[in-house]
Structure 1
């Protein structure tokens, strides 16, 4: 399954400074929860604690799936579809 993962607002710093990641996931059912585990194992290159909290993203990370807030789609239970775009935006900034 092909999906586009995007990291913005500083979140790209955690994935080797690359904002867009077109990925091919193995066949099967993919929920956002399973995708988050995959991201942790395959994309996060440093300081995963800035992105993850327990089994989800940290507060302050906005998640949009096809430009819709993931809270409207079931959050981690949302089942990914071919060519979905999943965008992670950090709303937390140092000062």
Structure 2
């Protein structure tokens, strides 16, 4: 049932994903997750953030309110994304290709009143 990786190809990328500012409530009240994602997407391109977002919803999110995190296949407005402590806008946003050891942080800047 298991599929073998391509010769010489790392089949998975270990990364750390963190949720803060209240987002951790959507993910079982766990702030930091060490996960491993496939190194290639189904189209054989390197795995990027646009792959990671639905992966997180399908595999880590425990709350049914997907729209609190994802909106129109991207991060909901009001959520800051940091890639290795840099704003993802400087890294290519959802096109950023994940690297082993990356630390991706999602910070909600929305506050109830």
TM range (shorter): over 0.9
Gaps of 5+ in 1: none
TM-score between the two structures when normalised by the length of structure 2? 0.81
* SS class of match (2:89): helix
- In the alignment of these two chains, the number of paired residues is 95
Higher relative contact order (CA 8 A, sep 6+): 1
Of Structure 1 and Structure 2, which has the larger fraction of its residues in helix?
A: 1
* Corresponding residue to 2:93 among 54, 57, 75: 75
* Corresponding residue to 1:32 among 29, 38, 49: 49
Q: State how 1:1-95 maps to structure 2 within 5 Å.
A: 1-28=13-40, 29-46=46-63, 47-95=65-113
- Alpha-carbon RMSD across the aligned residues, in angstroms, is 0.8
Q: Which has the larger radius of gyration?
A: 2
* SS class of match (2:38): coil
Deviation at 1:44, TM superposition (A): 1.2
TM-score between the two structures when normalised by the length of structure 1? 0.96
Deviations 1:9-53 (A, max 9, x none): 001000000000000112322100000010111111111111110
